[in-house]
């Protein structure tokens, strides 16, 4: 359409004028239109359409009749190929679009026109009948001449008519300056402080002298007051900050606010109830991640869905999944387990640490002075298994354990006893996509030493915890653990391919000494056998200083072994030293927390926040909490509790990273089925879902387009497209569950 094109040119001209006003030396690439014929004045060429779509000119626009009944967005599409993209360059992607009847969803992408069809930018707006204009800015992560601008319209039940105009992809635009809305400058735990716990907040201000603060109750009356402590420049945010300690106030109350420097914080409670709720919500998260099982609407209102990956079309797995070509010549039934994250992949490595942290949450409740195992007992989590007299947390984790066991290479096959690293789609799928609608071929990836040891560790741990409830299952897991251990010893350095990242994550790791240590520790704690004690005692990992700034996660598993050796009763020679090493690690995290004006036990090297930093903060807090369990010293208890403040909103973005907790909370996590942001008929993630949090490497194009140059805590955006800062995963929620359970136990 010609008229709109003129407007666009005017904007472009203005921008060009603005650019010419830039001082010399700040040269910008010229804005160049990459799309041919985006205005459809006389023809639709060179745009293509899939064979099921009839597209043509209509009133100076491209209009197309979209069939109903296709499975995926990309099953009905129009697009243009041969688009050149330059790595690191910013582009402005714009178009107008309409759809009749109302409510159909468009997936507009800039990606690769050939396999593996990577998507560099995508949005999925809901179309209106009258039409809307859309513009987005993103940065290309690659150099290619085979780019594509695509408008994907399939996946709906009913046919509809789609029209578009003024499609533009301008290269050389200045990157957009994104300003997050960080709300009031007084930063608090937006959920709850414990009556007898520490109570701290952070004030962002340019003031260098101390300032008065006031704590107000729900009716606005001042119930406590004091002075801030100036803390200077905080490296993790680049802000000048003060801290506020109102721990002397110990009364239970709802909807308090903290006022300082003319700003009023978001409301919060002084009440332990939220942590009891979080203990359950963070664990309930797993049922809705289950693969191979219908999620019952009566158990999770708003989250019911058909079973995924049971070979019911269009699903093609997971009952008889082959290996990647050339890897094996058998198929395995690998149904069940939890989907890893927002994708439909299932990974033994990440399944392992998640299983461990949930089992350890339960095991801690058995062995520590504040542990309350009944709070994790039968009937607590509203599961299909509730009422079977087995603690619900064990029922939930068993769903994953059964899957991990199925990933073991069967007897008689090459590499028997090892575990396949992962099983996932052959190609990455788009969003949204319900598990039962995934049409991709599923494949087993090669067995690895790290996966095998994850199986050995968790199956061994399971053997001691499930024994009182199901002796046969305990015997089965222990046998599998022994087999896996022997297989890992026979193949000690079979690592995952770091380039095997198409269709699923790599979980690459080229060092298995920590996994050997962890597996030996679990096998020892379950069996007491000398072979395993010897391995533990002879491992260099046993005495190494493993509790560093990034703590532990799926790739750094030594702490899993160390913590269990410290907390689970055993006759290990030198066990006291092991316990002391945990206390030493906790002292370091406590020192970090005390020095940090946001009160967090996390200060990564060079201020580089890691992928999933929220759970690293929590895992460091787990070490502090474990020091309390070991020593009973209240400074550790208080440090562990205080760590929750960061996660619940005492941070630079003033947001809680837990869905449904706190006035401003993350709720658009990257997910193929909690994709409310893309399809209003789908839900947000369930209450109690942890977002990955700030990630300095911002690997995804969406984050790159918004957060270029971000400092530490600011490298996060609550958008479904930001898979590197805002995904949710089973391992991250496990850290949340463990800390929620600890804090709930302190009431």
Q: Which among 426, 487, 431 has a CA at the least distance from the CA of 456?
A: 487
Q: Between residues 270 and 658, which has the closer beta carbon with respect to ligand 9MR?
A: 658
Residue nearest to ligand 9MR (CB): 505
Close Cβ partners of 520 (under 8 Å, ≥ 6 residues apart): 485, 532, 535, 536, 539, 561
Q: Which among 325, 348, 317 has a CA at the least distance from the CA of 435?
A: 317
Close Cβ partners of 580 (under 8 Å, ≥ 6 residues apart): none
Residue 309 CB, nearest approach to ligand 9MR (Å): 15
Q: Between residues 197 and 505, which has the closer beta carbon with respect to ligand 9MR?
A: 505
Q: Between residues 338 and 399, which has the closer beta carbon with respect to ligand 9MR?
A: 338
Buried b (16+ CB within 10 A) or exposed e, 444-470: bbbbbbbbbbbbbbbbbbbbbbbbebe
Binding status of residue 671 toward ligand 9MR by CB under 6 A = no
Residue 551 CB, nearest approach to ligand 9MR (Å): 13
Residue 645 CB, nearest approach to ligand 9MR (Å): 24
Region of residue 56 (phi > 0: left; psi between -120 and 50: alpha; otherwise: beta): beta
Residue 86 CB, nearest approach to ligand 9MR (Å): 25
Binding status of residue 505 toward ligand 9MR by CB under 6 A = yes
Catalytic, 681? Answer: no
> In this chain, which stretch among 175-183, 377-385, 389-397, 722-730 interacts with ligand 9MR, using CB under 6 A?
722-730
What number of other Cβ atoms are within 10 A of residue 248's Cβ? 9
Q: Between residues 303 and 723, which has the closer beta carbon with respect to ligand 9MR?
A: 723
> In this chain, which stretch among 339-347, 365-373, 632-640, 681-689 interacts with ligand 9MR, using CB under 6 A?
339-347
Catalytic, 727? Answer: yes
Residue 502 CB, nearest approach to ligand 9MR (Å): 12
Task: Work out whether strand 268-270 and strand 192-193 pair parallel, antiparallel, or are unpaired.
Answer: parallel
> In this chain, which stretch among 109-117, 286-294, 566-574, 721-729 interacts with ligand 9MR, using CB under 6 A?
721-729
User: How many CA atoms does the CB half-sphere of 602 hold within 13 Å?
Assistant: 34
Which ranges constitute the DSSP H helices of 176-284? Answer: 273-284
Backbone angles phi, psi at 730, to 5 degrees: -65, -30
Residue in 340, 514, 719, 745 binding ligand 9MR, rule: CB under 6 A: 340
Q: Between residues 413 and 506, which has the closer beta carbon with respect to ligand 9MR?
A: 506
> x/- binding map, residues 573-612, to ligand 9MR, per CB under 6 A?
--------------------------------------xx
Residue in 137, 671, 729, 733 binding ligand 9MR, rule: CB under 6 A: 729
Binding status of residue 719 toward ligand 9MR by CB under 6 A = no
Binding status of residue 507 toward ligand 9MR by CB under 6 A = yes
DSSP state of 383: -
Backbone angles phi, psi at 134, to 5 degrees: -125, 135
Residues touching ligand 9MR, count (CB under 6 A): 12
From CA 354, how far away is CA 729, in angstroms rounded? Answer: 9
- Cα 149 versus chain centre, distance: 28
Residue 552 CB, nearest approach to ligand 9MR (Å): 12
Binding status of residue 343 toward ligand 9MR by CB under 6 A = yes
From CA 714, how far away is CA 188, in angstroms rounded? Answer: 17
Scan residues 518-577 and list those touching ligand 9MR (CB under 6 A).
none
What number of other Cβ atoms are within 10 A of residue 27's Cβ? 8
- Which of 166, 553, 727, 745 does the annotation list as catalytic? 727
Binding status of residue 694 toward ligand 9MR by CB under 6 A = no
Residue 555 CB, nearest approach to ligand 9MR (Å): 7
DSSP state of 517: H
Beta strands in 310-405 (DSSP E): 321-322, 331-332, 346-347
As a dihedral over the C-alpha atoms of residue 735, residue 737, residue 740, residue 745, rounded to 10 degrees, the angle is -110
- Which of 166, 564, 718, 745 does the annotation list as catalytic? 718
Helix H or strand E encompassing 242: strand 239-245
> In this chain, which stretch among 219-227, 341-349, 584-592, 702-710 interacts with ligand 9MR, using CB under 6 A?
341-349
Residue in 128, 506, 527, 631 binding ligand 9MR, rule: CB under 6 A: 506
Scan residues 4-63 and list those touching ligand 9MR (CB under 6 A).
none
Q: Between residues 424 and 596, which has the closer beta carbon with respect to ligand 9MR?
A: 424
Scan residues 610-649 and list those touching ligand 9MR (CB under 6 A).
611-612
From CA 11, how far away is CA 17, in angstroms rounded? Answer: 10
> In this chain, which stretch among 31-39, 393-401, 501-509, 537-545 interacts with ligand 9MR, using CB under 6 A?
501-509
Residue in 341, 353, 359, 690 binding ligand 9MR, rule: CB under 6 A: 341
- Cα 413 versus chain centre, distance: 35
Cis link prior to 314 (omega < 30° from 0)? yes
Residues in the chain: 747
**Rounded alpha-carbon distances, angstroms, from residue 111 to 84, 316, 506:** 10, 25, 21
In order, the DSSP letters of 484-506 are HHHHHHHSTT-PPPTT--SSS--
Residue 71 CB, nearest approach to ligand 9MR (Å): 22
Residue 698 CB, nearest approach to ligand 9MR (Å): 13
From CA 208, how far away is CA 87, in angstroms rounded? Answer: 43
Binding status of residue 727 toward ligand 9MR by CB under 6 A = yes
Residue 578 CB, nearest approach to ligand 9MR (Å): 27
Q: Between residues 346 and 476, which has the closer beta carbon with respect to ligand 9MR?
A: 346
What number of other Cβ atoms are within 10 A of residue 180's Cβ? 16
Scan residues 52-111 and list those touching ligand 9MR (CB under 6 A).
none
Q: Between residues 341 and 455, which has the closer beta carbon with respect to ligand 9MR?
A: 341
Residue 559 CB, nearest approach to ligand 9MR (Å): 15
Residue 163 bridge partners (DSSP): 63, 98
Q: Between residues 395 and 727, which has the closer beta carbon with respect to ligand 9MR?
A: 727
> In this chain, which stretch among 193-201, 465-473, 505-513, 598-606 interacts with ligand 9MR, using CB under 6 A?
505-513
> In this chain, which stretch among 241-249, 458-466, 503-511, 563-571 interacts with ligand 9MR, using CB under 6 A?
503-511
Close Cβ partners of 412 (under 8 Å, ≥ 6 residues apart): none
Q: Between residues 341 and 401, which has the closer beta carbon with respect to ligand 9MR?
A: 341
In order, the DSSP letters of 112-174 are ESSTT--EEEEE-PBP-SS-EEEEEEEE-SS-EEEEEEEEE----SS-EEEEEEEEEEEESPP
Q: Between residues 354 and 570, which has the closer beta carbon with respect to ligand 9MR?
A: 354
Q: Between residues 702 and 723, which has the closer beta carbon with respect to ligand 9MR?
A: 723
Active site residues: 718, 727
Q: Which residues bind to ligand 9MR, rule: CB under 6 A? A: 340-341, 343, 345, 505-507, 611-612, 723, 727, 729
């Amino acid at each position: 359409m010609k008229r709109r094109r003129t407007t666009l040119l005017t904007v472009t001209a203005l921008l060009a004028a603005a650019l010419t006003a830039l001082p010399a030396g700040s040269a910008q690439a010229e804005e160049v239109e990459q799309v041919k014929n985006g205005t459809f004045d006389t023809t639709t060429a060179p745009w293509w359409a899939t064979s099921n779509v009839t597209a043509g000119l209509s009133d100076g626009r491209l209009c197309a009749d979209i069939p109903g009944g296709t499975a995926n967005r990309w099953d009905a599409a129009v697009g243009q190929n041969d688009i050149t993209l330059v790595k690191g360059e910013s582009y402005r992607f714009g178009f107008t679009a309409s759809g009749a009847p109302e409510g159909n969803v468009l997936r507009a992408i800039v990606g690769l026109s050939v396999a593996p069809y990577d998507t560099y930018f995508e949005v999925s707006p809901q179309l209106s009948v009258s039409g809307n204009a859309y513009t987005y800015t993103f940065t290309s992560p690659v150099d290619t001449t085979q780019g594509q601008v695509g408008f994907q319209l399939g996946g709906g039940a009913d046919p509809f008519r789609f029209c578009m105009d003024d499609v533009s992809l301008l290269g050389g635009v200045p990157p957009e300056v994104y300003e997050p809305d960080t709300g009031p400058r007084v930063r608090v735990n937006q959920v709850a402080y414990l009556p007898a716990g520490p109570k701290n907040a952070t004030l962002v201000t340019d003031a260098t002298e101390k300032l008065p603060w006031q704590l107000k109750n729900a009716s606005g009356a001042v119930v406590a007051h004091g002075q801030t402590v100036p803390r200077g420049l905080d490296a993790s945010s680049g802000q000048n900050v003060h801290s506020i300690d109102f721990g002397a106030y110990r009364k239970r109350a709802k909807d308090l606010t903290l006022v300082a420097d003319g700003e009023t914080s978001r409301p919060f409670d002084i009440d332990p109830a939220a942590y009891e709720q979080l203990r359950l919500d963070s664990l309930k998260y797993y049922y809705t991640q289950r693969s191979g099982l219908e999620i019952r609407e009566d158990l999770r209102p708003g989250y019911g869905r058909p079973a995924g990956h049971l070979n019911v079309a269009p699903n093609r797995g997971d009952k008889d999944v082959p290996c990647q070509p050339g890897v094996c010549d058998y198929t395995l039934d690998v149904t069940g387990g939890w989907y890893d994250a927002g994708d439909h992949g299932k990974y033994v490595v990440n399944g392992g640490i998640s299983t461990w942290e949930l089992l350890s949450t339960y095991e801690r409740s058995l062995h520590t002075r504040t542990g309350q195992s009944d709070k994790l007992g039968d009937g607590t989590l509203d599961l299909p298994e509730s009422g079977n007299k087995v603690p619900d947390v064990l029922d939930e984790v068993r769903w994953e354990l059964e899957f991990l066991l199925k990933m073991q290479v069967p007897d008689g096959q090459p590499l028997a006893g090892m575990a396949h690293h992962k099983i996932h789609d052959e190609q990455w799928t788009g969003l949204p996509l319900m598990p039962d609608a995934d049409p991709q071929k599923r494949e087993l990836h090669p067995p690895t030493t790290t996966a095998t040891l994850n199986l050995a560790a968790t199956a061994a741990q399971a053997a001691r915890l499930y024994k009182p409830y199901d002796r046969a299952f305990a015997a089965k897991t222990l046998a599998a653990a022994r087999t896996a251990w022997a297989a890992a010893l026979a193949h000690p350095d079979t690592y995952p391919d770091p380039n095997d990242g198409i269709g699923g994550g790599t979980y690459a790791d080229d060092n298995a000494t920590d996994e050997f240590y962890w597996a030996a520790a679990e096998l020892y704690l379950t069996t007491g056998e000398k072979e395993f004690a010897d391995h533990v005692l002879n491992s260099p990992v046993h005495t190494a200083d493993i509790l560093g700034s990034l703590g532990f996660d799926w790739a750094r598993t030594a702490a899993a072994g160390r913590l269990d050796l410290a907390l689970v009763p055993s006759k290990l020679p030198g066990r006291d030293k092991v316990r002391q090493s945990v206390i030493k690690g906790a002292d370091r995290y406590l020192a970090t927390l005390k020095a940090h004006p946001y009160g967090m036990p996390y200060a990564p090297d060079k201020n580089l926040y890691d992928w999933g930093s929220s759970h690293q903060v929590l895992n460091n807090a787990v070490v502090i909490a474990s020091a309390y369990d070991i020593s009973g010293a209240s400074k550790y208890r208080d440090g562990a509790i205080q760590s929750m403040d960061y996660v619940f909103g005492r941070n630079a973005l003033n947001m809680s990273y837990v869905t449904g907790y706190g006035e401003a909370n993350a709720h658009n996590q990257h997910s193929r089925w909690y994709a409310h942001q893309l399809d209003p008929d789908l839900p947000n993630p369930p209450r109690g879902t942890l977002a990955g949090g700030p990630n300095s490497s911002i690997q995804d194009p969406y984050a790159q387009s918004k957060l270029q140059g971000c400092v530490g805590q600011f490298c996060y955006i609550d958008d479904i497209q930001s898979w590197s800062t805002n995904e949710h995963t089973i391992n991250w929620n496990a850290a949340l569950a463990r800390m929620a359970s600890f804090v709930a136990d302190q009431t």
